Structure 1
């Protein structure tokens, strides 16, 4: 049975697909301008920004509206990017907080940030474990994989 937006955590706060798209596009515009994150993302994503943005809209739609559209494997993708570490996640979260603070009502921003923090924590723990176990082969940039 497919989940619907009616029973999602985001819907109760007025989060919809349009807001998610604005947040994703606004956030990645900030990322691309960032002195640290920008060059890293450009190296990895290259010309594949449109598919990446669409995938991230699907991701956040799945997280906040329980649409189930996102089908990626973010743990393995992130584990393969050797530059990823705790300070990089913290920088990412700070930019994300600034973006949702600017684009969302306070309760909406709080939900985005709660989920982003949990996801970052989980990804970082998984990345560290995969690296310790040697399960993350080197990253080969492919827009379809991010």
Structure 2
């Protein structure tokens, strides 16, 4: 990866770089890749939409028109997918931004993740139980 300059500010260019790098990781991820690759048919268009989304979140631009909730509701998403998504997001954002903007971008993602999880009826896992162990009431 070399010694790339980390961005000190959030702008459309740095957002496009984050989206690009992040979704390349997502596509290659064993847990997330199959869900995303199955759902996204045109990655260039999808990344363009995501840059628009993040520009509206982080820069207050009014360019994004869409419904993240309905898009995600159609997918087989589980709680552990959110955890992995956030893990990769934090890692990518810290690679590309200096500390202050990285913390801001992570905060946005955590809030968005929480509201999506609530909307999808997925509880937050606060270290409750190991992943993959079902809750069985006898």
Is 2:9–2:97's contact at 8 Å kept on the other side of the alignment?
no
- Count of residue pairs the alignment pairs up: 115
Structure number having the greater helix percentage: 1
The match for 1:25 is: 20
5+ residue gaps, structure 1, are 1-12, 130-146
The match for 2:109 is: 116
Quick one: which of 17, 20, 34 aligns to 1:39?
34
2-structure distance, mates of 1:54, 1:118: 22
1-structure distance, mates of 2:108, 2:10: 14
5+ residue gaps, structure 2, are 1-7, 123-138
2-structure distance, mates of 1:52, 1:33: 16
Moved over 6 A (4+): none
CA RMSD of aligned residues (A): 1.2
TM-score relative to the length of structure 2: 0.80
Deviation, structure 1 residue 40: 1.2
TM-score relative to the length of structure 1: 0.76
Say which structure, 1 or 2, has more relative contact order (CA 8 Å, 6+ apart).
1
Q: What pairs up with 1:1-146 in 2 under 5 angstroms?
A: 14-46=9-41, 48-81=42-75, 83-128=76-121
